[in-house]
């Protein structure tokens, strides 16, 4: 019988996690119809059946992690008889299963079918405690109920795989500076409040055009210098950090950049950022300033040579030209670069250009 196997959904993928079966055993499926949702190395994918027929057997349950190429289900031929379908009584039981939302989530995480759990809630409803009790019986829960264990897989493992070379192979050096943000804040008020990240992305893009020695990537044993300026932006999502790319960022207006970044954040919350959108960058910008962080040293995002961290803008005492004291708002920047590819002086000149552009935002367009 034809098998459905765990597909390789992106180049780094070695295994995938079954998130949700869209079809049940015994149901008919058509070629090209989505039958299962899989979490790959960077994002979630819909997997289509390669055959038409009956889903005769589900081999791996929701919550299980499966190696690429291993079978996860069997689809019978179109001519197969109805006996491959489960008995009507089993289908009715599945439809009538009652469970709380948290119980359903825990059952998925532990890979336990709700049909196999006896509910103790009102009307036989399955509760959180019922799922945890079943998990303990199966040896899946060996700690207190307030602590749970899940496989180190999916997006967390993908982040580790992607960023480890940026820490273990690169020679990271950090440069920190502050910039006077008063002009930027006023410019922002006059311009419809573009995001702070958009200002920094535009400043970085223009600085990369001025300092082409920074616009490179390390690809195997080759250093590749790029003509286009493609900047990745760190996006916080429920599944972890992603870094979609803004193509030709130097050609975008602040308004366009803000719309693109806002779109990334919204789609990130919905889990819709694709693998392709996170490829083809030569520099990365990440922002924790809105969380009150002033300085941090992020890990370089391979194959980039550097990453710029945006810290919080906050009021600070400042010395005036006549020696007096005043209070001005100042922003914080940290440039982490790979010393294998870039020396300290060029990196410092690049950072100085970014600082100057942010202090003169009218030059950003």
Number of neighbouring beta carbons within 10 Å of residue 280: 13
Cα gap 39→62, rounded to integer Å: 11
Cα gap 18→111, rounded to integer Å: 9
Cα gap 214→208, rounded to integer Å: 6
Angstrom CA distances, 85 to 21, 28, 321, stand at 16, 9, 84
How many Cα neighbours within 13 Å face the side chain of 231?
Answer: 28
Look up residue 196 and give its two tokens.
Answer: 């702070």
Alpha helices for the chain (secondary structure H)? 88-96, 101-110, 128-137, 154-168, 182-190, 196-210, 254-269, 344-359
**Residue 355 and residue 179 in contact, taking contact as beta carbons nearer than 8 Å:** yes
Contacts of 75 (CB under 8 A, 6+ apart): 1, 2, 3, 4, 29, 49, 50, 51, 52, 53, 54, 55, 56
Catalytic residues: 339, 343
């Amino acid at each position: 019988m034809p098998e459905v196997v765990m597909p390789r959904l992106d180049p780094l993928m070695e295994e995938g996690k079954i998130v949700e079966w869209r079809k049940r055993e015994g149901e008919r499926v058509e070629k090209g119809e989505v039958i299962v949702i899989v979490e790959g190395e960077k994002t979630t994918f819909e997997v289509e059946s390669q055959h038409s027929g009956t889903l005769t057997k589900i081999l791996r349950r929701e919550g299980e992690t499966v190696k690429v190429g291993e079978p996860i289900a069997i689809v019978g031929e179109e001519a197969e008889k109805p006996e491959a379908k489960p008995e009507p009584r089993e289908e009715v039981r599945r439809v009538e299963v009652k469970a709380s939302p948290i119980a359903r989530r825990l059952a998925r995480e532990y890979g336990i079918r709700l049909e196999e759990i006896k509910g103790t809630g009102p009307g036989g409803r399955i509760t959180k405690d019922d799922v945890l009790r079943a998990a303990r019986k199966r040896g899946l829960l060996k700690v207190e109920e307030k602590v749970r264990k899940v496989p180190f897989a999916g997006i967390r493992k993908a982040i580790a795989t992607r960023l480890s070379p940026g820490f273990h192979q690169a020679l990271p050096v950090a440069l920190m500076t502050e910039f006077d943000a008063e002009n930027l804040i006023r410019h922002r008020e006059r311009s419809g409040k573009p995001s702070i990240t958009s200002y920094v992305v535009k400043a970085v893009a223009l600085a990369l055009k001025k300092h082409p020695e920074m616009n490179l990537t390390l690809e195997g044993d080759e250093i590749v210098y790029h003509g286009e300026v493609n900047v990745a932006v760190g996006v916080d999502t429920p599944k972890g950090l992603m870094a979609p790319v803004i193509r030709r960022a130097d050609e975008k207006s602040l308004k366009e950049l803000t719309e693109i970044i806002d779109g990334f954040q919204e789609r990130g919350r919905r889990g819709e950022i694709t693998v392709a959108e996170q490829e083809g960058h030569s520099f990365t910008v990440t922002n924790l300033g809105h969380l009150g962080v002033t300085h941090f040293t992020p890990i370089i995002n391979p194959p980039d040579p550097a990453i710029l961290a945006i810290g919080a803008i906050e009021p600070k005492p400042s010395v005036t030209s006549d020696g007096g004291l005043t209070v001005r708002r100042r922003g914080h920047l940290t440039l982490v670069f790979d010393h294998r590819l870039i020396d300290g002086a060029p990196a410092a000149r690049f950072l100085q250009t970014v600082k100057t552009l942010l202090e003169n935002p009218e030059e950003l367009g």
